[in-house]
A = this chain, B = another copy of it.
Amino acid sequence: MGQKITIKEVAKQANVSVATVSRVLNGRDRVSKETKEKVLKVVKELNYVPNTTAVSMITKQTQMLAVVVPDIENPFYTAVIKGAVSVARQEGYYVFVFSTNDNVKEESIFFESAQGRNVDGVILVGAHKEEAFYKSINKPVVLVDRYIEESGLDGVVINNFRGAYDATTHFIENGHRNIAVIIGPQDFNDGTERYWGYEQALKDHNIEPVNEYYKEGDWTEKHGYESTFELMNGSNPPSAILGANNMICQGAIKALRDLKLEIGKDISLIGFDENDIAEFVEPRVSVVKRPTHEMGVHATEILIQKLTKKESTSTVPKKVTLGCELLKFGSVRNLRNGG
């Protein structure tokens, strides 16, 4: 069972040395046509496949990449993974997925054991907030989505600020002034940048942010659901809500349904990230679409480039910022045209 025949066996049957077999297989040195064919024939007959573990010992490379995400069941991350996998496969790498449950401890455990375990590089949507952690990883890393500013680390992020800014501005342009935001923790760029975008859009239009309209919590459906209830049952319900990620948005939609409020009429809503529910309801909910797949693609390209081109300008940190797109459907009511 498993790996049986070795290069030695091939060499013996082909009546050559193991060195020659190795040469033929890797095309390194010149080998006479005859011996080459002879070796290849035996390789085929024996169905020989080199043992990658042994190869790794010598090359110090495993051709394996780790993709570490908070939650493998969140469509946002599976899209990133899929993007990463497509590039990796193309370049002859294998991808090894690890889910941390957005837990700092589990993430640490991974990196401790990954120390000896050989992955050539890592694509990481990190749970840690300390720059020190990322710098302690002694393997090439590319950060995705979450990024530590000024850290000099490689990363692929999206313009969260812009996304939130555009969404909020869209509300304002439609005459909304009582705009609430339901958002996740403000301890990472994904959260803070979105809040800043929201806040800046308000300020640019001379609207003072109101504490009552600010709902910070987890990036969960539950938070979206409960916050929406609180907002709408408050003394001064907003006319518009920005749900700052896919789960929160889903929660908001469900809450509005349960509150018997009609989206696009009684309440306006914009979400962050596409999601099944937002796509399903009528009117379809406008969302800030993030290029999830592309994030995985870019990150992997950068990583592999780091892995292969050792020279070059590898000292220059590469932080790629991708734009997002506001997909406008009918979930924002126009308050201006008396609508």
How close is A107's CB to chain B, nearest CB, in angstroms? Answer: 13
Question: Cβ of A3 < 8 Å from any Cβ of B?
Answer: yes
Contact A1 B99 (CB under 8 A): no
1/0 per residue, CB under 8 A from B, across A42-67: the answer is: 00000001111110110010100000
Contact A53 B62 (CB under 8 A): yes
Chain A: interface size category:
35 or more
A54 to B58, CA, bound (A): 10
Surface stretch bound by B, among A186-194, A202-210, A274-282: A274-282
On whether A257 and B276 interact (CB within 8 A), knowing A2-B138, A3-B118, A82-B99, the answer reads no
Question: Cβ of A81 < 8 Å from any Cβ of B?
Answer: yes
On whether A57 and B49 interact (CB within 8 A), knowing A95-B97, A280-B277, the answer reads no
1/0 per residue, CB under 8 A from B, across A274-300: the answer is: 011100101000000000000000000
Q: A residues 51-96 with Cβ under 8 Å of B?
A: 51-54, 56-57, 60, 62, 72-73, 75, 78-79, 81-82, 85, 94-96
Partner of A52, one of B112, B118, B138, B250: B118
Nearest residue, chain B, Cβ from A54: B57
Contact B96 A94 (CB under 8 A): yes
- Residues in chain B near residue A116, CB distance under 8 A: 3, 49-52
1/0 per residue, CB under 8 A from B, across A118-143: the answer is: 10000000000000000000111000
How close is A331's CB to chain B, nearest CB, in angstroms? Answer: 16
How close is A83's CB to chain B, nearest CB, in angstroms? Answer: 11
A75 to B60, CA, bound (A): 36
- Residues in chain B near residue A96, CB distance under 8 A: 94-97
Question: Cβ of A117 < 8 Å from any Cβ of B?
Answer: yes
How close is A49's CB to chain B, nearest CB, in angstroms? Answer: 4
- Residues in chain B near residue A139, CB distance under 8 A: 1-2
A60 to B54, CA, bound (A): 11
How close is A114's CB to chain B, nearest CB, in angstroms? Answer: 9
- Residues in chain B near residue A177, CB distance under 8 A: none
Question: Cβ of A254 < 8 Å from any Cβ of B?
Answer: yes
Question: Cβ of A321 < 8 Å from any Cβ of B?
Answer: no
Contact A53 B280 (CB under 8 A): no
Contact B117 A99 (CB under 8 A): no
Question: Cβ of A103 < 8 Å from any Cβ of B?
Answer: no
Question: Cβ of A15 < 8 Å from any Cβ of B?
Answer: no
On whether A73 and B62 interact (CB within 8 A), knowing A1-B139, A3-B116, A97-B95, the answer reads no
A253 to B277, CA, bound (A): 12
Question: Cβ of A151 < 8 Å from any Cβ of B?
Answer: no
How close is A82's CB to chain B, nearest CB, in angstroms? Answer: 6
